[in-house]
Structure 1
């Protein structure tokens, strides 16, 4: 099972993971945002539902994604493109949409110590 960790990381933390990966240390899949607010701006409730629906599925057309979610194609298009632009979704060579993970782990800390 391929799991991606979505979280909040500083530039220093992200750089440290990249350097460790260059040294051959396994890091796993990460999608990092600089702030919690940035994460919630990109990952709205409708976009979370989209990721949940696509997790573990084969690539599909935009219209198929809209049908799967029982949503309007225009609104689905906007959400898919926001997630593509954020690097969360991928597009195959034949223009199909894919979320290349089976599951998502969310990781961030809030509070004064954060």
Structure 2
């Protein structure tokens, strides 16, 4: 199962930097480093800007029905191609959508877990 962990925390940048530094030190000393597949957002607004209801709908659709192209995906969603292209680009950057060499779009993630920190 492929999972993505999403964390919303005001200290998101510091946490990500600490994880990178820890992994770097471990790698330098020869210790194996397990990959961490985590997305950080500094606040709820930042998360909601990226994971909109339309993008959530797109992810659910792709999970069940991979698409041969953005145009085919837009047709399946009943949306315009330009908006779907923008959404696909944003979600690809987060690693939530993948495109193979032929351009086929898939949503390889089985589960997204999240935590929202309210207090420091």
Q: What is the TM-score of this pair, normalised by structure 2?
A: 0.70
Aligned to 1:3: 3
The question of whether the paired residues in 2 share the 8 Å contact of 1:7 and 1:31 is answered with yes
The alignment's C-alpha RMSD in Å is: 2.7
1:52 and 2:54 correspond: no
Aligned to 2:14: 12
Q: How does 1:1-114 map to 2 (within 5 A)?
A: 1-9=1-9, 10-22=12-24, 23=26, 24-55=32-63, 60-110=68-118, 113-114=119-120
What number of residue pairs does the alignment pair up?
112
The question of whether the paired residues in 2 share the 8 Å contact of 1:31 and 1:88 is answered with no
| Displacement of 1:58 | 5.2
| Displacement of 1:15 | 1.7
List gaps (5 residues or longer) in structure 2: 27-31
Query: Aligned pair in 2 of structure 1 residues 7, 41: CA closer, same or farther (>3 Å)?
Result: same
Query: Aligned pair in 2 of structure 1 residues 96, 3: CA closer, same or farther (>3 Å)?
Result: same
SS at match of 1:55: helix
Larger radius of gyration: 2
**C-alpha separation between the residues in 1 aligned to 2:74 and 2:50?**
19
Q: What is the TM-score of this pair, normalised by structure 1?
A: 0.72
List gaps (5 residues or longer) in structure 1: none
